[in-house]
Structure 1
Amino acid sequence: MKVKMDEWYKKLIVLGLGCLISGCVNLDDAKVKYEKRSVNFNLPEGRYTNEMLVNDFGNGYFPKNRGFAEIKDSVCKITFRKGLKVHNTGIASQPIIIPGDSYTMEYKIKYDPDFEEGLHGKQFGFGIGKVYNGGEGEEARANGDGGSVRLGFDATKDSISNRLYVYYCKMKGKYGNNPGDQKFSFAKGVWNTIRLKVTMQSAINKADGRIEVWCNGVKKIDVDDLLFVRKESARKITKLAFSSFPGGGGIYPKHDNFLYIDDFRWSN
């Protein structure tokens, strides 16, 4: 009997490994995914770890050298490191959320008063379908099965200029576009509240997808004629872009630069 049980157990293990390899077990299904959540960063001071990220967002992680954030005075302080852009600086994570047709994100953000003029970079947003970013414009156009919506920023002497940075099936070029060519600015050194709402197109053949952005309660951007994807299976918002880093243009930082995030929330 013992021999038979051992053989049965071995077969069970092999079957389980086979399912995992073949894809009939989806590890993403085991992750905690939120369609509505509020993160206030009321945590002990020190490094904002992957464990804290998972506790706050349900899942996700900072890849190696993409998690330069800490908790300071109950807010999330992000460091743009001297001499670096994109890699080894800022933060980058893509927590999975429950797929939805429309999502709204809101957060408070403050750029340090000494945030360097000439810095350019990316801020928070959403991933669509099979998420495309990081110079994947050709893939977004050719495949039509994903994209992303984030804000891009440019630092001037006294303020931060903001615009859309979008990957979608009708985009041009390799890097994110600013459909609608709309911009807005806010001051450095003070807290500003950003609200970003993305609504997917109502059908595959309808260019009625919409992106709306408010700053301190005032609508600043509204684009309502977007065809994000060409495949029905991709017509959902699937991830958060909890990402903030310099790069894709702009200067290399001459010193460490800081920005602060608080009261980060999303809902569908």
Structure 2
Amino acid sequence: MSHTSLLYPLLYCAFMSLGSVNGQLVAADVLASQYSLATSTSLAFPSATQSNSDTQSFLVSNWGLSKGRIQNGASDLQFVNDPFANDPAPGASSNPDVSGPVLQVTYPNGSYSHDTGGAQLYSLWNASDSSFLSMMVSYEIAFDSGFDWVQGGKLPGLRGGPNPDGCSGGSNATDGSDCFSTRLMWRKQGEGEIYAYIPTSNGICKENDIICNSDFGTSIDRGAFSFASGQWNRITLLVQLNNPVNVANGFVSLYYNDVHAISQDKLQLRSSDVVTAGGLYLSTFFGGSDYSWATPQTTHTYFRNFRLWGSSSPSNLTGSKVSAANKLSSVESRVRLLFLPWIPFAAVFCAAGVL
């Protein structure tokens, strides 16, 4: 047998071995141990279903909400019976309390953005003076059977910093001085991504897996996995803040159903020491900022088993120092978006002698 004929099966075996390593199941608590996230907690759920008003009272009393309030969509939250009680989420993690109530979020027909449907709250784990510099959240989410994804929508993640209302909602891209947020998004056909409000430093917008918007968040690895409707899905999201604050060595990683899906390093998630990891950012709605994102029918998501792990240690990865030139990138992007569409018209006017 020739050396060439031996090479192909060897390459095939090596490829299959690599695939099995990348696709191996890693339970959330094992992952927490690997990253030395020694402190952990779980968010409380009631033992029985509740009305909307009782649900609001329970969340305010038990979830340590920022400013003691549900930010948006309080009327769209309710603890209900699990619609998929006999369907544990795939993966290696345990499924505690799968028989209890789950948190239902309603998206009314025609709703889009956080002030027309869905809900938003910030659950502070360790009060506003959190010393966590690394944090991981794991939770399970189910979408109604036949869920219409439309163009996309927001899903829970992590956030931090002294500003509990920034870094979301279509505000200008953050400079990292008072907050960060790392939510998830579903996109068309249920494609998933990490959707972050962080500085876009050191040319990160040029990377293949990054999509930057001048006035909105940054999409990380869109389509790396896809959500399934009519069943439970498990999300595990790790965030390690950059340190020192002028070095882009921050790190995010996401596991879907306990299988690794996304990793992104070389991030500047903060530009000030006042920004630490604060807790769960339960922010979910269709959109998007216009009606093209709206759900055509009233629909729901369901959540259970919110668990958090934390550490006072930031990322220890290497990274490049952030230069002053990079801090102008978001302004430069806005200028380009403002003037680029007019360049063809200007060329016509110049040719005609108008300009």
Normalised-by-shorter TM-score class:
0.7 to 0.9
Are residue 88 (structure 1) and residue 116 (structure 2) matched?
yes
**Contact 1:39 / 1:56 at 8 angstroms: preserved in 2?**
yes
Deviates more, 1:86-95 or 1:165-174: 165-174
The alignment status of 1:132 with 2:167, answered yes or no, reads: yes
Deviation string 1:78-98 (CA, Å, 9 cap, x unpaired) is: 111101112231111112232
Q: Distance in 2 between matches of 1:54 and 1:80?
A: 21
Name the TM-score, length of structure 1 as normaliser.
Answer: 0.78
Q: Which residue of 1 aligns with 2:55?
A: 49
The match for 2:214 is: 173
Quick check: which one's helix share is greater? Answer: 2
Structure 1 pair 155–172 and aligned structure 2 pair: CA distance change class (3 A): closer
Structure 1 residue aligned with 2:69 = 61
How far the C-alpha of 1:102 sits from its partner, in A, is 0.9
What is the number of residues matched between the two proteins?
229
Contact 1:93 1:242 in 2 (8 A): yes
Distance 1:45 1:97, change over 3 A: closer
Q: 1:41 to 1:104 in 2, by over 3 A?
A: farther
Counterpart residue type for residue 283 of structure 2: S
| Paired residues of 1:41 and 1:262 also in contact (CA < 8 A) | no
1:228 match: secondary structure: coil
Q: How far apart, CA to CA, are the structure 1 residues paired with 2:198 and 2:48?
A: 36
Measure the CA separation in 2 of the matches of 1:203 and 1:40: 37
Aligned to 1:252: 294
Match of 1:114 in 2: 146
Are residues 180 and 64 of structure 1, via their aligned partners in 2, closer, same or farther at CA, if it must alter by over 3 Å?
A: closer
**How far 1:205 moved relative to its partner?**
2.2
Q: 1:180 to 1:260 in 2, by over 3 A?
A: closer
Return closer, same or farther for 1:43/1:116 CA change in 2, 3 Å cut-off: same
Per-residue CA deviations over 1:93-134 (Å, capped at 9, x if unaligned) read 112232210111111111111211414110101112134211
Q: State the Cα distance separating 1:42 from its structure 2 match.
A: 3.1
- Secondary structure of the residue aligned to 2:58 is helix
1:97 is matched with which residue? Answer: 125
Are the counterparts in 1 of residues 40 and 307 from structure 2 also a CA contact under 8 Å?
no
Residue 42 of structure 2: aligned partner: 37
| Cα deviations by residue, 1:142-183 (Å, 9 ceiling, x for unpaired) | x63322110011242xxx211011011226511111135562
Normalising by the residue count of structure 2, what TM-score does the alignment of the two structures yield?
A: 0.60
Give SS of 1:203's match: coil
Partners of 1:206 and 1:63 in 2: CA distance? 32
Return the alpha-carbon distance in structure 1 between the equivalents of residues 125 and 43 of structure 2: 13
Deviates most, 87-96 or 38-47: 38-47
Structure 1 residue 41: deviation in Å? 4.5
Cα drift, residue 55 of structure 1? 3.1
Alignment of 1:164 onto 2:194: yes
Cα drift, residue 204 of structure 1: 1.2
Task: Indicate conservation of the 8 Å contact 1:122/1:243, yes or no.
Answer: yes
CA distance, structure 2, for counterparts of residue 220 and residue 62 of structure 1: 31
Q: Secondary structure of the equivalent of 1:94?
A: strand
Secondary structure of residue in 1 paired with 2:136: strand
Q: Which residue of 2 aligns with 1:189?
A: 230
Partner of residue 265 from structure 1, selected from 307, 310, 314: 307
**AA in 1 matched with 2:227:** F
Corresponding letter in the other structure for 1:120 = G
Higher strand residue share: 1
Give the drift of 1:216: 0.9
> 1:183 and 1:97, CA in 2 relative to 1: closer, same or farther beyond 3 A?
same
199 and 64 in structure 1: CA distance in 2 versus 1, 3 angstrom threshold: closer
Tell me by how many angstroms 1:215 deviates: 0.8
Aligned-pair RMSD on alpha carbons?
2.2
Partner of residue 207 from structure 1, selected from 242, 248, 255: 248
Alignment of 1:230 onto 2:262: no
Per-residue deviation at 1:66?
Answer: 4.3
